[in-house]
Structure 1
Amino acid sequence: MKDKRLFAIRGATTSENTAESIRLAVEEMCREIFMLNSVKAQDIVSVQFTMTPDLDELNPAAALRKSDTGLDTSKIALFAMPELYIKGMPPKTIRVLVTTYLDCDAAVKPVYLNGAKSLRPEFALGN
């Protein structure tokens, strides 16, 4: 990993509570993170997901395995857990933390899509 260091890239999106909607939302979010940050599969340490309690039709890690993100994710460590419930939290939200090696001078680009743009408007795509 010469000239690389470890980075954590955040992202979030929203989804309807169907397996297909969750798969598509995870695919879009992860594809954007991987592409915008020039992530290579062999440099990823792990991908961690959380989901709000109102999403229960598909595990986001399983969704990533079923998705076409442009990277082979079959050998990447994936982990998913429920989001801690907080009164007033945004509904139907999937969050991700991608831990990966990137070039030392990389400028990490978080990805916030769909209804999750309100969580971090300064990082929302298109802003």
Structure 2
Amino acid sequence: MRGIRGATQIASNTVEAIYDGVVELCRALNEENGLSQDEIVWAIFTVTHDLDADFPARAAREAGGWSRVPMICSQEIPVPGSLPRVVRVLLHVEGGSGAGVRHVYLGGARALRPDLFTGPAGAPA
């Protein structure tokens, strides 16, 4: 078993923006780690307090390719000064020791964990 992290900063608190951002994140996680949904044991999504227009799991299920993955959504602690409009995900994935895991941080969310940022491939760190 291994854990894979990902995050993205959403453009605005709308259904469309959340949907688009989460789909992009799910697809990047799949591509960067060579994942199929059958390898994903579960996914936990969190959102910052300023995102409440939709559930990230809906986008992951409908267009992100994770229709059979058990998911849950939760809210992050509203720490003063934290990066706004962020969706984070933690995947629990079958197989491997964690070597070669590519955590994916998109857009402004790259600032959250520059020590873990490895993807997407070819993107500037």
What is the TM-score of this pair, normalised by structure 2?
0.88
Pick from 68, 81, 88: which aligns with 1:88? Answer: 81
Q: Residues 30 and 103 from structure 1, CA distance in 2 versus in 1: closer, same or farther, beyond 3 angstroms?
A: same
Of structures 1 and 2, the larger Rg is shown by 1
Percent identity, aligned pairs only?
A: 37
Task: After superposing the two structures, state which structure 1 stretch, 51-60 or 102-111, moved more.
Answer: 102-111
- The residue number in structure 2 matching 1:19 is 15
Correspondences of 1:37-116 after superposition (within 5 Å)? 37-67=33-63, 69=64, 71=65, 73-104=66-97, 106-116=99-109
Residues 29-65 of structure 1, C-alpha deviation per residue, up to 9 Å, x if partnerless?
A: 1111111111121111101100001011011111212
**Displaced runs of 4 or more, over 6 A:** none
Structure whose residues are more often strand by fraction: 1
Structure 2: 5+ residue stretches without partners: none
Q: Residues 77 and 105 from structure 1, CA distance in 2 versus in 1: closer, same or farther, beyond 3 angstroms?
A: closer
Opposite residue 8 of structure 1, the aligned amino acid is G
Size of the aligned set, in residue pairs, is 119
